[in-house]
Structure 1
Amino acid sequence: MITVSAPPPPPPPQPQPPAGHAAAPEPARGRRWPTVVTSLVLLALLMFAQSFRFPNDSAVTEPMVASGDASAAVDAGSFTVKVDEVRFAKAIGDGAEDSGLSDFAPETEYIEANGVWVVVFMEVTATEKQLTTFESRLDSGDENVYASTSWLYNTFGSVDDGFPPGIPIKGAAAFEVPEKALKDPVVQMTISSGPGQRLAGEAHVKLGLSGDELKKAIDGAEETLDVPAPEMQKV
């Protein structure tokens, strides 16, 4: 007896995508997030690096500070400054014979300090072009900064003709400071060719006064001090 086996039935047909459309690949699960995170990290690092290569306008045009001490001239680029002397006084004026006190100042000849006057005598020389705007501050060394007085006509930064290039000018800036605030004073000055501090030069000069020496100078403050007008020097 001969037995004949029937062939197995063919597999059912698989569904085909519509004409003109390719079959969508299966998503690679778990592979996309690491790539996204890595890209974001690289982008953040690139932006951080670019911030160093291309500083903002404020950083490019702000004053460039030159620092030194009173033993030598400090070169701020657009000017040099040499501190000649520092004097302390209880009261200051523009001069006994011809006072130039501002109309807003007290009527008395001398202005008494609520603390002590620190008067910094210096020589300033513009190096390249005419400079007209002088601003100064005194860092007292106790984390406080004091602006120079505007009560006197004779001090730098009040009424003057500025600083012509190449000609040294001697003058002074005066600061009213609480006696106990003085620790290790540094005079700071910015001199520019117009209003504002865009591309201005700035110098910080350490006065070299601290401890017992500073206390002795304060205790020996003059009763009155006449601040002379700025004066051009011969070259």
Structure 2
Amino acid sequence: VGESPKLWKLEGAKTCPKDHEGTGWVWVEEEGEVIDDLSFSSPTWQPDNVTTACVSGYVGHVIDGALSNKFLASLDETRLGLPLDFEKKKTAAARRFLHDSEGWVCRELERALAEGLASYSKVAPRVLPWMRFLEYHEVEGALPPHTDALVKCKDTGQYSTHTLIVFASDCPHGGETVMLPTVASGVTANSKACLCQRGTGSECFAVRPVCGRIFCFPHQCLHEGRPTAVVPKILLRAELVWDNQMCSGFNR
């Protein structure tokens, strides 16, 4: 990976963890020089490029300007080297599965999260290396309200706590990922609105796809993907291990 990426895919029992055999995951390794993740740092980073919102006690964070064009270009080169998986017919998005075996994607995302969330938490989130690209190629592609499942880290045994989205394309209209208030969905858990300064009350928190934008929120937060109007909509989806799931101002 770099200015002239060379990727090869190693598949099968000898190269893929047993619990991922036959799941569509592809083991991707790098050929050539090792990537220096410091070279990816964005010179335009500004601390005020962070937006935080609280929906029914669940806190979501949006970080803009933390990923450089060089990193995003390398990420897109990697994406295009992975096969498309259309097996899940019930979903509107095609998938490309990635295992960041060398850790260069995780390192850069963890750096961006640590810098962006430094004033919010002393504990930096950890990015799990199993990821997937989601691609919406048709308009009206949407995802109904749902919560995300926890993923167990094979290295530490810890379960993931947060969903991480890195948008890899611009969608000026439609395609927003939206944190939903549980009171509006009829779900009894966390049905009271948080009264903190960032609380949205009974309102949702919609995040528009902007290339390079980072969005993270707790798995247990109800959310949806609104219908696409501009395609393709492309994003990298991963999991975080982090301590901060609920707002401290939420009255349980």
Query: What TM-score, normalized by structure 2, do the two folds share?
Result: 0.24
Structure in which a larger fraction of residues adopt strand:
1
